[in-house]
Structure formats: structure tokens, C-alpha cells
Copies of this chain bind each other. A is one copy, B any other.
Amino acid sequence: MMAEHTVKAFDEDITRLRGLIAEMGGLAELSIQQSMEALVSGDEVLAAEVVARDKKLDAIETEVDAMAIQMLALRSPMADDLREIIAALKIGGVLERVGDYAKNIAKRVKRIEGRSHFEPLTLIPAMADLAGEMVHDVLTAYAARDAELARDVILRDDKVDAFYDSIFRNLVSYMMENPATISSAAHLLFVARNLERIGDHATNVAEMVHFAAVGTYPNDIDR
């Protein structure tokens, strides 16, 4: 059994680890939101901010990894504590990728021409709101160990997928009617795809949170 001061040090480490994950989540959400503002307005300065923020996310992920490894090495945690640390490692990895997707969207901002003509430029931000909320809520569920909220996030992924299908069809029709816009429209296809992937990643984290909270995956949800 660990001595009391060791338990306290471990709890402090867990709190710090959870703080780093929350920080990553906040930055990833901000990047999703700003990548959309930049996409719609064509604001390349804002897009560059999103691209720059990705390095910060990479750095925090490295910190999460290092801290998790140190906790595993120094404290040899058991059962729930061990699962908690492994979950933090995985969630850190997912948030780093969400940041990558937002960076990828931001990098496409200057490639889009004639943005006032694209109907998907109203659909895509609505899709991004949904995906961004999934990221936000899954981190709330993680912080509160809330299996119900995690379940709710998983259910929302179908809506994001439906948005994606609709935007895909819309962009393909638009390309057929306006071949001169094909290059811009192809970049928007990738933007929509990146958002769809963000929804998938939030869903994966939600499954981990559900598992950590109640010990089962929500198998009754048809996915």
C-alpha cells in the first residue's frame, strides 16, 4: 500500500495530467472555430494563427507523454489509476490529431477562390460547430467521468456524417456545373472530410470515456 504522501503526490500528478488534456482540448476547439472563421472570410492572418497553434498542441502532447511515462515509472500505479494514465496518453494523441485537421483546414484557406459562390461555405461551418461541440462535450464527459454525456456524443456522430454526405454531393454537383471552380471545390471536399474525421475521433474518445466510467463499450449503439 502506498504511503499517504505518495498517494497525495499521485493525485497531484493526475490532476496536472488532466489539466494538460483540458488545455489541449481548449486549444483544439479554438483551432476548429478559427479555421472556420478564416475559411469563410479568407482571413489568412487568422489561418496562420491556427497553423502556428499546432506546434503548441504538439508540445503539450509531448509533455503528456513524458509525464505519463514518469508516473508509470515512479509510481507503478494499479488498476483504475493505470487505466487513467493510459487513457490520458490516448486522448492526448487524439487531440493532437484534431489539431492537425484544423491546421490542414487553415492551410487550405488561401487556395479557395470565389468563396461567395459556394453554398457549402454555409453548411461547412454548421458541420464544424457540431464537430467542435462533440470535442467540447467529450472532454467535459472525460473530466466528469460522465458515461451518459459520452453516449450522447457518440450518437451525434451520425449527424456529422450526414452533413458530410450532403456537402460531398453538393460540391460534386457544383463542380459539374462550374468546372472552373473545381480546384477550390476539391479543397472544400477535404475540409468537410477533415471535420468528419474530427467527429470520428471525438466518438473514439467518447467510447474510451464510457469504458473508463462504466467498464463497457456502449455496444447497443449501432455504428
> Could you give, for residues 205-218 of chain A, a 1 whenever the CB lies within 8 Å of some chain B CB and a 0 otherwise?
00000000000000
With A93-B93, A176-B179, A176-B182 as contacts: A82 and B86 at CB distance below 8 Å? no
Interface size class of A (residues with CB under 8 A): 20 to 34
Distance, CA A190 to CA B196, complexed state (A): 13
Which chain B residue shows the least CB distance to A82?
A: B73
A180 within 8 A of B: yes
* Chain B residue contacts of A171, Cβ below 8 A: 186
Stoichiometry (number of copies)? 2
Determine whether A30 belongs to the interface, using a CB cutoff of 8 Å to chain B: no
Report whether over half of chain A's contact residues are helix, strand or loop; otherwise say mixed: helix
A116: CB under 8 A from chain B? no
Interface readout for A154-182 with B: 1 if CB under 8 Å, 0 if not?
00000000000000100110011001101
- Are B176 and A172 interface neighbours, CB within 8 A? no
